[in-house]
Chain A
Amino acid sequence: MKIEIRNGRLVDPAQGIDRVASLFVAAGKVAAVGGAPPGFVASRVVDAAGLVVCPGLIDVAARLREPGLEHKATLESEVGAAIAGGVTSLACPPDTDPPLDEPGLVEMLKHRARSLNLAHVYPVGALTVGLGGTTLTEMGELAEAGCVAFSQGDAPLVDTQVLLRAMQYAATFGHRVWLRPQDPHLARAGVAHDGEVATRLGLPAIPVAAETIALATIFALVRETGVNVHLCRLSSAEGVAMVRAAKRDGLPVTCDVAIHHLHLCDVDIGWFDAQAHLVPPLRGTRDRDALRAAVADGTIDVVCSDHTPVDDDGKLVPFGEAEAGATGLELLLPLTLKWAAEMRVGLSDALLKITSAPARLLGIPAGTLAPGRVADVCVFDPAAHWVVGPRTLRSQGRNTPFLGLEVPGRVRHTLVNGVVASVSPLTSDAE
């Protein structure tokens, strides 16, 4: 299969390319950019005039709900949503049921994903057995099975000595540890940011100190162990400042933010809108603005969807009882574009946060359109606007605080391994 993607605006942040050019794909790889290689005869031509052609997007946090939570979503539905959103590689957290704490589960997940022949799935293994926070997992075996990093997901790791040991052990073998910074004691029973909104609505609150205390602990242990730590889902201005300082000090840390937290704050809870029940909690406008600026200045390395399919049963309950999370795979691109437009960040710099930067974090050979690399490609219309709604989302989780919002950027084609990945058409693309 030889494909020519003709005359699109080709944006490849990894190579610093941003110009109108054709992309030539053959045998699953990028064959050339610009001029056709000698003897290239396309079996399919995709007219990309007016469209952006970029590396397939990479999402470092997408819950696929397998194994164990198939009633909320399945691998088929969510990988289909990924393709619809232009996402060709994704990392899934270990907080499945059972958690990804043994190689068999990881191999099964990889096998299931491969057989679908859609997006590449990179499991993040559990750091402790059952995410229980007491016993280390067999990280070597899990890495061999395909885990790209080790994490507790959203489960707490209460015992700091276990955290130290986990870091020491991971550092021994060069594994990367992903941690969501949150002190479990200060976060206990909390469902919203400790601020005016929680005070008004009488919602149990989580103070910013829950994040900063955890960051201080993690940084101290990183200094002790030298382990590479990736910080998941920053939420506060104070947290951003601490990460900035740690990076300035040369600590081997990276971090990400969820796409929701770049656009929303606790005020968006309104009158108890369970759609805005997220983990970590949406914080104040000052925090949101600091997160937005931190992505632009490079303090935050990666933007992710934190995709969490939640069914209606999980949301049609009082705010505090609602299941946290929102669908996001199909909103990663639109909400990144929206952030970039509002922050006056160029397209290439914006796409870097969802292509080459996450590729580097995951250590995978993706996120670029350099000749010879796997042809994972996203072709989207940056001028097309669409309204987020149950009928415009493919994910089985239709719950998101962005329902009803008009967003920019519609994916037209997604190539995985040099093949145009197809998903069933939406009932109403124009809604």
Chain B
Amino acid sequence: MRNPQLNAHGELTHLLTLEGLPADVIRHILDTAEPFASIGEREVKKVPLLRGKAVFNLFFENSTRTRTTFEIAAKRLSADVINLNIGASSTSKGETLLDTVDNLVAMNADMFVVRHSQSGAPHLIAAHLNAHARTHVHVVNAGDGRHAHPTQGLLDLYTIRHFKGDFGNLRVAVVGDVLHSRVARSLIHGLTTLGTPEVRVIGPRTLLPTRVESLGVTVFNDMRDGLAGCDVVVMLRLQSERMKGALLPSAGEYFKHYGLTPDKLAVAKPDVIVMHPGPMNRGVEIDSAVADGARSVILPQVTFGIAVRMAVMSIIAANQGPPRR
């Protein structure tokens, strides 16, 4: 199965992953997001780019933050937004994922924003739409299993570019549960594609996937070693369910080794920025003094997230045509 997100002209028709996306496509999205970032400050927060389009938020997994930001982004583009909490409706009646999609296509859906607990679910939908000549219907991956969360990755890139200007001489550390993190995978692909010279992952070996170096990162098991001289620190959310198995002994021990405190952050560069995809677990992966501190750009990330999602939706909605063969 080919990556079905680019059409024959190399244009983005779905956004499924940042892996394999050309650097100029990523830069184009970030550039497009720039003017959208200021729309939120206007009195009338709307542009008509998606007027008359029906955007379906198809969330097979619970999310408030991401769904809300997608909804705001679509509404600011003047689209009609329909939120479907699928976990509570059709699949529990035994309908398959693709049947749900076909039904919504029959209701003239123009775009699906998909979150699913299974890695690859948005690829399946996009490939299905392409195979059935529904190339005017677009898919945006809003997080699939452990695989990808490309709009989060893009908003992280946007935030880094906003505060650091360029990727060409940055040292970025991604800290925590990389194994289960779609956010980490998307950000790593984006950073390496844009030429970031050093991307580090920091965590205990239970939370780092096998051969993670193959993604182009350097592995650190010690937090202080890993943070030394970093320009950007991205903290990952540690879900409480990870404490139930044998991955970690306790939240307390995790915080001791990998929780971001002012003390640990002191080894990074003085102008380091601290990011977190949210929602944060204060006292588990991040100390409040850092989360609310001067180096934190966690709230700007949220604001930029809307602009980046507007950029993604407006770009793919304008690109149509048969998929790349």
Asked if A14 is at the interface (CB within 8 A of a chain B CB), the reply is no
Beta-carbon contact of B96 and A202 below 8 Å: no
Binds B, one of A46-54, A143-151, A191-199, A361-369: A191-199
- Partner of B212 from the list A199, A318, A320 (CB cut-off 8 Å) is A199
Beta-carbon contact of B120 and A316 below 8 Å: no
Q: Mark B286-319, 1 if CB is under 8 A from A, else 0.
A: 0000000000000000000000000000000000
- On whether A320 and B210 interact (CB within 8 A), knowing A271-B2, A271-B4, A272-B1, the answer reads no
Beta-carbon contact of A200 and B97 below 8 Å: no
Binds A, one of B39-47, B51-59, B142-150, B258-266: B142-150
Beta-carbon contact of B96 and A313 below 8 Å: yes
Quote the shortest CB–CB distance from B160 to chain A (angstroms). Answer: 22
Beta-carbon contact of B209 and A316 below 8 Å: no
Find the B residue at minimum CB distance from A203: B119
- Partner of B1 from the list A194, A199, A270, A317 (CB cut-off 8 Å) is A270
Cα distance A272–B125 when bound, in Å? 12
Beta-carbon contact of B210 and A202 below 8 Å: no
Asked if A207 is at the interface (CB within 8 A of a chain B CB), the reply is yes
Beta-carbon contact of B96 and A320 below 8 Å: no
Asked if B171 is at the interface (CB within 8 A of a chain A CB), the reply is no
Asked if A205 is at the interface (CB within 8 A of a chain B CB), the reply is yes
Quote the shortest CB–CB distance from B207 to chain A (angstroms). Answer: 13
Find the B residue at minimum CB distance from A313: B96
- On whether A319 and B211 interact (CB within 8 A), knowing A201-B147, A202-B146, the answer reads no
Beta-carbon contact of A207 and B118 below 8 Å: no
Beta-carbon contact of A199 and B2 below 8 Å: no
- On whether A194 and B210 interact (CB within 8 A), knowing A201-B147, A319-B120, A320-B119, the answer reads yes
Which residues of chain A are near B212, meaning CB under 8 Å? 199
Asked if A321 is at the interface (CB within 8 A of a chain B CB), the reply is yes
Which residues of chain B are near A270, meaning CB under 8 Å? 1-2
Asked if B8 is at the interface (CB within 8 A of a chain A CB), the reply is no
Beta-carbon contact of B119 and A196 below 8 Å: no
Beta-carbon contact of B97 and A317 below 8 Å: yes
Asked if B82 is at the interface (CB within 8 A of a chain A CB), the reply is no
Cα distance A102–B306 when bound, in Å? 62
Beta-carbon contact of A200 and B120 below 8 Å: no
Asked if A273 is at the interface (CB within 8 A of a chain B CB), the reply is yes
Which residues of chain B are near A204, meaning CB under 8 Å? 146
Cα distance A315–B83 when bound, in Å? 27
Q: Mark B114-131, 1 if CB is under 8 A from A, else 0.
A: 001011110110011000
Which residues of chain A are near B118, meaning CB under 8 Å? 318-321
Q: Mark A313-352, 1 if CB is under 8 A from B, else 0.
A: 1001111110000000000000000000000000000000
Find the A residue at minimum CB distance from B182: A202
Q: Within residues 174 to 213 of chain B, which ones have a CB less than 8 A from any CB in chain A?
A: 182, 185, 209-212
Which residues of chain B are near A196, meaning CB under 8 Å? 210-211, 214
Find the B residue at minimum CB distance from A193: B210
Find the A residue at minimum CB distance from B2: A271
Beta-carbon contact of B209 and A198 below 8 Å: yes
- Partner of A198 from the list B124, B127, B144, B210 (CB cut-off 8 Å) is B210
Which residues of chain A are near B215, meaning CB under 8 Å? 199-200
Q: Within residues 173 to 212 of chain A, which ones have a CB less than 8 A from any CB in chain B?
A: 194-196, 198-205, 207
Quote the shortest CB–CB distance from B17 to chain A (angstroms). Answer: 8
Cα distance A319–B215 when bound, in Å? 21
Asked if B133 is at the interface (CB within 8 A of a chain A CB), the reply is no
- On whether A200 and B19 interact (CB within 8 A), knowing A195-B210, A271-B4, A317-B97, the answer reads yes
Beta-carbon contact of A202 and B185 below 8 Å: yes
Which residues of chain B are near A272, meaning CB under 8 Å? 1, 119-120, 123-124
Quote the shortest CB–CB distance from A165 to chain B (angstroms). Answer: 29
Beta-carbon contact of A318 and B116 below 8 Å: yes
Asked if B3 is at the interface (CB within 8 A of a chain A CB), the reply is yes
Cα distance A203–B182 when bound, in Å? 11
Which residues of chain A are near B145, meaning CB under 8 Å? 202-203, 318, 320
Which residues of chain A are near B116, meaning CB under 8 Å? 318
Cα distance A194–B98 when bound, in Å? 28
Quote the shortest CB–CB distance from B149 to chain A (angstroms). Answer: 10
Cα distance A271–B139 when bound, in Å? 15
- On whether A271 and B119 interact (CB within 8 A), knowing A196-B214, A199-B211, A199-B215, the answer reads no
Which residues of chain B are near A207, meaning CB under 8 Å? 210
Quote the shortest CB–CB distance from B139 to chain A (angstroms). Answer: 13
Beta-carbon contact of B123 and A195 below 8 Å: no
Cα distance A205–B180 when bound, in Å? 12
Beta-carbon contact of B120 and A271 below 8 Å: yes
Q: Within residues 202 to 230 of chain A, which ones have a CB less than 8 A from any CB in chain B?
A: 202-205, 207
Quote the shortest CB–CB distance from B133 to chain A (angstroms). Answer: 17
Cα distance A316–B97 when bound, in Å? 9
A: residues with CB less than 8 A from B are 194-196, 198-205, 207, 270-274, 313, 316-321
Starting from the known contacts A201-B120, A202-B144, A319-B120, 14 additional A-B residue pairs (CB-CB under 8 Å) come to A198-B209, A199-B210, A201-B147, A202-B119, A202-B147, A203-B146, A272-B1, A272-B120, A316-B124, A316-B128, A319-B118, A319-B124, A320-B120, A320-B145
B: residues with CB less than 8 A from A are 1-4, 19, 96-98, 116, 118-121, 123-124, 127-128, 144-148, 182, 185, 209-212, 214-215
Sorted from nearest, which 8 A-B pairs have the closest CB atoms? A272-B120, A202-B146, A202-B147, A318-B118, A199-B209, A196-B214, A318-B121, A273-B1
- The contact sample of 19 A-B pairs, CB cut-off 8 A, is A199-B210, A200-B185, A201-B120, A202-B144, A202-B145, A202-B147, A203-B119, A203-B120, A203-B147, A271-B2, A271-B4, A272-B1, A272-B124, A274-B124, A316-B128, A318-B116, A318-B118, A318-B120, A320-B119
